[in-house]
């Protein structure tokens, strides 16, 4: 299982450069910035396209598509930071059959914060390892440190409700399937405190490997509840 770590960094252009503003969308009652092609960087090697992000009837669609440049991925980030609380995502797509090179990331992050960037993750991925039973993990950075990642096997029963609850000194995670049954839970002490991190959702390719075909993941909603 590949560790997350710096694999989920969105590198943004310098604020001192005069460039057109990126596209924004409204979804789940929040405003989000769509990552444009010019925002290069990790996770890589990947290319990005704002065309791979759409909202239809309240459903967020993140896509990986083939273009004249090659395969392009998708990412959005919240315009605001939320701090402590419960972060909840409803994913409508069946993630148990996700292409083995595709990664769905739901996480907090801010590159302006000294490492580990207040990064809390739920990652759905096999990292190209076809025989791995696990296809998802809970992670708190730094990834790769003993006990930081917990592997999970997702059942073919969407929609999935995926969440973490961040309180002073602790983070708890959980996933339930479409029947309401618990798939996995976890709790871990942590020392970092809110410092301006934002919520990110992205869909990308591990090591830049091409998927078998284009794909789209549907996310039914996001909710943050202060605690």
129 contacts 155 by C-beta, under 8 angstroms: no
In Å, how far from its chain's centre is CA 62?
Answer: 11
C-alpha span between 66 and 35 (Å, rounded): 17
pLDDT tens-digit map of 48-75: 999 999 999 999 999 999 998 899 999 9
Give the pair of three-digit tokens for residue 131. 């025989």
**Structural domains of the chain in order of their starting residue, each with its CATH number:** 22-225 (2.60.120.200)
Q: What is the pLDDT of residue 40?
A: 79
Q: What is the pLDDT of residue 144?
A: 56
Q: Is 73 exposed, middle or buried (0-12, 13-18, 19+ CB in 10 A)?
A: buried
Average pLDDT of every residue of the chain:
89
Q: What is the pLDDT of residue 191?
A: 85
Give the pair of three-digit tokens for residue 159. 């929609």
Tokens 């590159």 correspond to 111
Name the residue with higher pLDDT: 127 or 2: 127
182 contacts 175 by C-beta, under 8 angstroms: yes
pLDDT tens-digit map of 9-40: 444 444 444 568 999 999 999 999 999 998 87
In the predicted model, is pLDDT for residue 7 greater than 90?
Answer: no
Q: What is the pLDDT of residue 82?
A: 98
What average pLDDT score do residues 182-189 get? 94
Q: What is the pLDDT of residue 14?
A: 44
What average pLDDT score do residues 138-162 get? 84
In the predicted model, is pLDDT for residue 143 greater than 70?
Answer: no
pLDDT tens-digit map of 116-141: 889 999 999 999 998 889 999 999 87
Q: Is 168 exposed, middle or buried (0-12, 13-18, 19+ CB in 10 A)?
A: exposed
Give the pair of three-digit tokens for residue 182. 């618990």
The CA-to-CA distance between both ends of the chain, in Å, stands at 32
pLDDT tens-digit map of 8-17: 344 444 444 4
């Amino acid at each position: 299982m590949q560790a997350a770590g710096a694999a989920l960094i969105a590198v943004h252009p310098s604020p001192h450069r005069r460039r057109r503003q990126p596209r924004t969308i409204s979804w789940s009652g929040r405003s989000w910035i769509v990552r444009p092609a010019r925002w290069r960087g990790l996770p890589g090697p990947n290319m990005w396209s704002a065309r791979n992000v759409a909202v239809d009837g309240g459903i967020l669609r993140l896509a990986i598509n083939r273009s004249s440049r090659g395969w392009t991925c998708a990412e959005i980030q919240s315009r605001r930071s939320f701090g402590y609380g419960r972060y909840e995502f409803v994913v409508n797509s069946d993630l148990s059959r996700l292409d083995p090179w595709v990664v769905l990331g739901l996480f907090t992050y801010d590159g302006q914060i000294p490492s580990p960037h207040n990064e809390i993750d739920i990652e759905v991925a096999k990292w190209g390892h076809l025989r791995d039973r696990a296809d998802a993990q809970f992670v708190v950075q730094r990834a790769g440190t003993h006990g930081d990642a917990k592997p999970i096997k997702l059942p073919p029963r969407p929609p999935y409700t995926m969440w973490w609850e961040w309180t002073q000194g602790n983070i708890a995670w959980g996933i339930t399937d479409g029947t309401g049954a618990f798939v996995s839970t976890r709790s871990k002490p942590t020392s970092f405190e809110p410092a301006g991190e934002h919520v990110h959702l992205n869909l990308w390719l591990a090591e830049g490997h091409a998927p078998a075909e284009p794909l789209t993941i549907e996310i039914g909603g996001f909710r943050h509840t202060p605690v």
